[in-house]
């Protein structure tokens, strides 16, 4: 692979991607996206709340992630 050609160890590379959360995004969709990313070898998932965002949506997603963390 390319990183081997330039002398990098793939295990040292942080791979990240995004999850876009809208008001209508349900909890199952968020968890499904996180699982898919984990299976793909993603090291970091960045959650973006798309406007308009409510405090309630941020709170519910935060609770979801806190309750499902390993």
User: Taking CA 58 as the corner, what is the angle to CA 49 and CA 39, rounded to the nearest 5 degrees?
Assistant: 65
CB atoms within 10 A of CB 33: 19
Tokens standing for residue 54? 């409510």
Q: List the domain boundaries for the chain.
A: 14-68
Say yes or no to pLDDT of 1 above 70: no
What is the distance between the alpha carbons of residues 25 and 9, in angstroms, rounded to a whole number?
A: 36
Give the per-residue pLDDT at 25. 97
DSSP 8-state secondary structure symbol assigned to residue 50? P
Give the per-residue pLDDT at 33. 96
3-state secondary structure of 24: coil
The whole-chain average pLDDT of the chain stands at: 90
Distances from the Cα of 8 to the Cα of 3, 4, 44, angstroms: 5, 5, 19
List pLDDT tens digits, range 27-44: 999 999 999 999 998 989
Question: How much is the pTM?
Answer: 0.77
């Amino acid at each position: 692979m390319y990183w081997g050609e330039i002398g990098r160890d793939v295990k040292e590379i942080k791979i990240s991607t995004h999850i876009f959360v809208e008001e209508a995004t349900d909890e199952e969709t968020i968890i499904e996206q996180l699982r898919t990313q984990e299976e793909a070898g993603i090291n970091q998932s960045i959650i973006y709340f798309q406007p308009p965002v409510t405090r309630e949506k941020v709170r519910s997603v935060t609770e979801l992630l806190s309750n499902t963390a390993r």
